[in-house]
Amino acid sequence: MSTHCGLVAVIGAPNAGKSTLVNALVGQKVAITSSKAQTTRARLLGIALAGEVQIILADTPGIFQPRRRLDRAMVAAAWEGAQEADAILLVVDCVKLRRHELEPLREALRDRPERKILVINKVDASAKEPLLVLAQELAGEFEETFFVSALTGDGVPELKDRLAALMPEGPWLYPEDQVSDASERLLACEITREQLFRKLRDELPYDSAVRPESYQQRKDGSVEIRQQIVVARDSQKAIVLGRRGAMIKEIGEAARKELAQVLGQTVHLFLHVKVEEGWAEARDIYEEIGLDWVK
């Protein structure tokens, strides 16, 4: 039986549920999720299997109007993920539909040659009538439309089967047991950053990054991970640390538990906070957090 393998770019407005969908298609966590927009920064690949088919999913940062260098780097990563894809999924949040974010995406996709599929997400939280109106409005621009809830898994198997059918014949690009192309160092940083978002919510703006310092396997089979949380101001450092270090301890403990689960081994996680005023303009940080430097 011949193998098939192809690339699917997953794009959409910020917070449309792209990372949750990638995780659902892969069957385990490969991308970080958060209720805050712009959680995904780098173009992390998730690798889903369906029988003899390997589906490589490019989970792209939400596409929006970029102002800062960091924003421009994220948008560049998003469109890079869509180039030469065998299919492009446009994920639309049917609950919080923001027209001003959707229109530029529709415009950008209009003349692209790739096979385009519309995924209307979060159907578990919406009435049927608006869903059908939305689908009807957008349907003409896409070959197919799928209604899913990435969170509950509704409609995900049908979407996965369809994507598998679209993948061209060819050898697999990754080993059978690999679920992401992100290095374990980068994935570990992403998981810590996810906990930063979850624990601090609106208190901490996007002026933070998590840098890998060291990642060492110990002789006893555990792994020792050291990371640096970079913020732009002293006031932000105080927020991350919390009273008597309580917050950073809480973030570290939550990240450590999740890492142990994802990596399947005992994890010793050490975090410290550094204030670096212009970090978002520092070229070396971009490489460390998985983004290309853009001018």
- CA-CA distances (angstroms) from residue 65 to 86, 101, 111, 122, 153? 26, 9, 20, 24, 30
User: Can you tell me whether residue 115 is helix, strand or coil?
Assistant: strand
Q: What angle, rounded to 10 degrees, do the helices at 156-166 and 18-26 form?
A: 80
In the beta sheet, which residues pair with residue 89? Answer: 10, 117
- How far apart, in Å, do the first and last CA atoms of the chain sit? 47
Rounded to a whole number of angstroms, the CA Rg of the chain reads: 19
CATH 3.40.50.300 boundaries in the chain: 4-166
What's the confidence (pLDDT) of residue 37? Answer: 42
What's the confidence (pLDDT) of residue 264? Answer: 79
**CATH fold for the domain made of 184-288:** GMP Synthetase; Chain A, domain 3 (3.30.300)
- Report whether 40 contacts 60 (CB < 8 A): yes
Mean pLDDT by 10 residues, the chain (295 residues): 86 82 82 46 71 85 55 57 76 81 81 87 80 82 90 93 93 77 72 84 68 85 90 88 92 91 87 80 58 55
> What distance lies between CA 25 and its chain's CA centroid?
13
- Report whether 87 contacts 166 (CB < 8 A): yes
**What is 4-166's CATH number?**
3.40.50.300
Does this model's pTM top 0.95? My answer is no
